[in-house]
Chains A and B, each alone.
Chain A
Amino acid sequence: MAAAAAAAGGVPSQQCFLLSVTGQVESARLAGADQLYCRYQLHGGPDWDIVTGLEEGISQVSRPSQDARQLLVWNLPVEVSYKATNPYGWPQLIVSCYGPDLFGNDVIRGYGVSHLPTAAGAHRVTLPLFVPESTSQLQKLVSWFTGRRPELADASSLATGDGRDVMRVRSQGYVTCSFQVVTKDLQRLGYDNGRRAPAGAAGGDLQPAGGGDGRPG
Chain B
Amino acid sequence: MVQRQPERRLQGELRQTRPAMKSVSWNHRAAVTQKSIDESESMLDQIRSRRGRRREAGSQDESLSRSVQHDDTSEPDETLTFRPSDSVRADVTDDVTDAAGGGEGGPSSPAGRLGKPDRGGGGDSPRAPPPLAPRRLSAAGQETFRSQLKKRLSLAEIKGHGRAARRSRAQPRTSRFDTLREGGTSRAYEDYMRATAAGRTGPSSVQAYDFFCRIWEDPPSERRAATAPATPREAGEEASGAAESLSLSELLGGEQLEPVTRHVAPMILSRKAQLAREADIYFTPSPIPIPPEERLPAGGQARDPAEDGIYVPRRPHLAGRNLHKLENRLLHSSDRHVRQLVDFRLQSEETWSWFGEDGQLLCLPDPLLSRPRHRDYRDVSEDALTDYLPASMEAPRPADPEPTVSAADQPQQLQLHVHLVAVRLTEHPLFSKEHRAAAGLEQLHREYTALVDDDTVNRLTQRLWAVRRARDGVLSAALQLPSADHGDHSGDRADHSGDHGDHTGDGAEQVQRRRIDDYTTSIQRLREQRDAAAAQQRRLCRSILRRWRELKVLREDQGFSSTPLRLAVRELPSDSGQETELWQRELRAELEELRTEHDRSKQHLDAEYSQQLSEWRDRRRQLGPDSDQLGPRPQPPAEFDPQQVLADIEARATGNRRPPGEPKLAFDLLDTHPITATADCPKPEQQRRQAVSRCQLSVRTLIGGREVSHTRPQPLSQQLVSELHQQLAVRLRAAPEALQLEVCEEGTRRSTRTLAKLRLPSPASHVTERTALPEWTAFSAAGSGPAARGRLQAALYWGVDEETGSVLAPPADPTAEGAAAAELAAPDPNDPADASMTANMPDPCAAAEAGDRPAPLRPGCDGFLTGAPDPADSARCRLLRLRDAGVPEFRHVTMAPLRDQQVPQQLFTAYQKRLEAQSAAGAGAEEAGGDGGESARRSVLQYQLRIKEMVARRLRAAQKHKRLEDMVREDEVPDIGTIGSVFGSLLSVRRPLNPPRKQKQSRPLVDLQGQELQLLCHVVRAFNVPVRRDTDAVRTDYSRPAPAAQATVAQSSLLPKVSVRPFMELTFQRQTVRSNVAQGPNPTWNQDLKLPVTLPPQGVADLHSLDDVIHLSLQDEMLVDLLDDDRLQDTNVHQRIERRWLAELTVPFSTLYINGRVEGTFRLNTPPLLIGYDCDVTARGTLFHLTESLPTGQTGTYVTVFITLEPPVNVPPTVQEHLESMETEKLLAHCESWTRAFRRDYPGRRVRCTVLDVTGRSALVCRYIRPLRPPDALLAACSNEEDQALLIARFVSLIPNVSDVNFFSGMYDLWTTCQEFLDMQAGDEEEHAILLCNFFLYLGKRAYLVLGSGIPEGLTAYVLRLVQYRLQSDPVLARPGSGIREGLTAYVLTDEATNRWLWNPCTGQRSSAAESYSSLLSVGCLINAENVWANTQVYAQPSCISFDVNLVGDWRPLFTARQPAPAEMASVQAETLRYSVTDTVRVQADAERLERRLRDHLQNWRQRTNWTPWNRPCSDALRRMLPLLERSTFTPAISGAQLADEQTRLLANIHATYKVCGVPLNVPQHSQEAMVEALFALGVHRNDSREAEFALAVHMEPYPSNIVAVWVYVAALTRRR
Contacts and interface: CB of A to CB of B under 8 A. Distances in A.
Interface of A: 10-11, 14-16, 46-47, 49, 84-86, 88, 132, 134-136, 138-139, 142-143, 146, 148, 150-154, 156-157, 162-163, 166-167, 187-190, 192, 194, 196-197, 199, 203-204, 214-217
Nearest to B1006: A154
A188 B389 CA distance: 19
25 contacts: A15-B898, A85-B896, A86-B880, A86-B896, A135-B970, A138-B973, A151-B969, A151-B970, A153-B967, A154-B1004, A166-B964, A166-B966, A166-B967, A187-B802, A187-B803, A189-B396, A192-B389, A192-B802, A196-B805, A203-B803, A204-B803, A214-B401, A215-B401, A216-B406, A216-B407
A150 B804 CA distance: 52
B706 to A, nearest CB: 24
Contacts of B893: 46
Interface of B: 387, 389, 394, 396-397, 400-401, 403, 405-407, 410, 802-805, 880, 883, 893-899, 902, 960, 962-964, 966-971, 973-974, 1004, 1006-1007
Contact of B407 (A142, A162, A190, A217): A217
A43 to B, nearest CB: 12
A163 B966 contact: yes
A110 to B, nearest CB: 14
B1293 to A, nearest CB: 43
A134 B403 CA distance: 62
A132 B967 CA distance: 9
B315 to A, nearest CB: 30
Contacts of B804: 199
Nearest to A46: B894
A154 B1007 contact: yes
A128 B401 CA distance: 45
B967 A85 contact: no
Interface centre among B406, B805, B960, B970 (most CB of A within 10 A): B970
A64 B1007 CA distance: 33
A151 B968 contact: yes
B802 A86 contact: no
A205 to B, nearest CB: 10
Given A143-B971, A197-B803, A216-B407, 9 more contacts: A15-B898, A85-B898, A143-B970, A150-B970, A153-B966, A153-B969, A157-B1006, A189-B898, A190-B396
Contacts of B966: 153, 163, 166
Contacts of B410: 216
A181 to B, nearest CB: 15
B665 to A, nearest CB: 53
Nearest to A131: B968
B1292 to A, nearest CB: 43
Contact of B389 (A152, A163, A194): A194
Contacts of B406: 216
A162 B962 contact: yes
A85 B968 contact: no
Closest 5 CB pairs of A and B: A163-B962, A216-B407, A150-B970, A163-B967, A132-B968
A189 B410 CA distance: 20
B974 A190 contact: no
Nearest to A142: B973
Contacts of A204: 802-803
A162 B957 CA distance: 12
Contacts of A143: 970-971
Contacts of B968: 132, 150-153, 167
Contact of B403 (A142, A153, A214): A214
Interface centre among A136, A146, A156, A188 (most CB of B within 10 A): A188
A192 to B, nearest CB: 6
Contacts of B880: 86, 88
A46 B896 CA distance: 8
A156 B1004 CA distance: 14
B395 to A, nearest CB: 8
A144 B590 CA distance: 103
A216 B971 CA distance: 62
A160 B507 CA distance: 91
B883 A142 contact: no
Contacts of B894: 46-47, 49
Given A86-B880, A167-B964, A190-B394, A139 B973 contact: yes
Given A85-B896, A134-B970, A153 B1006 contact: yes
Contacts of B400: 14, 214
A134 B406 CA distance: 65
B646 to A, nearest CB: 73
Interface centre among B407, B963, B964 (most CB of A within 10 A): B964
A11 to B, nearest CB: 5
A41 to B, nearest CB: 12
Contacts of B902: 15
Nearest to B1004: A153
A86 B406 CA distance: 30
A142 B895 contact: no
A40 B895 CA distance: 24
Nearest to A158: B967
A143 B387 CA distance: 43
B887 to A, nearest CB: 14
Contacts of A148: 971
Nearest to A166: B964
A146 B385 CA distance: 44
A192 B800 CA distance: 14
Nearest to B386: A194
Contacts of A203: 803
Contact of B964 (A84, A135, A192, A194): A135
Nearest to B405: A216
A203 B401 CA distance: 13
A142 B400 CA distance: 63
Interface centre among B396, B401, B895, B896 (most CB of A within 10 A): B895
Nearest to A201: B803
Contacts of B1007: 153-154
Nearest to A85: B898
A196 B803 contact: yes
Given A135-B964, A142-B971, A187-B802, A47 B895 contact: yes
B1251 to A, nearest CB: 29
B967 A157 contact: yes
A10 B401 CA distance: 23
Contacts of A47: 894-896
Contacts of A138: 973
A166 B962 CA distance: 7
Nearest to B406: A216
Contacts of A136: 973
A75 B894 CA distance: 33
B970 A11 contact: no
Contact of B895 (A16, A151, A166, A187): A16
Contacts of A84: 895
B404 to A, nearest CB: 11
Contacts of A162: 960, 962
A162 B971 CA distance: 22
A138 B971 CA distance: 11
A170 to B, nearest CB: 12
Interface centre among B803, B973, B1004 (most CB of A within 10 A): B803
A84 B896 CA distance: 9
Contacts of A216: 401, 405-407, 410
Contacts of B405: 216
Contact of B883 (A46, A156, A215, A217): A46
A148 B405 CA distance: 66
A120 B964 CA distance: 38
A103 B33 CA distance: 55
A61 to B, nearest CB: 23
A192 B397 CA distance: 12
A216 B408 CA distance: 9
Nearest to B402: A214
A217 B410 CA distance: 11
Contacts of A197: 803
A46 B899 CA distance: 16
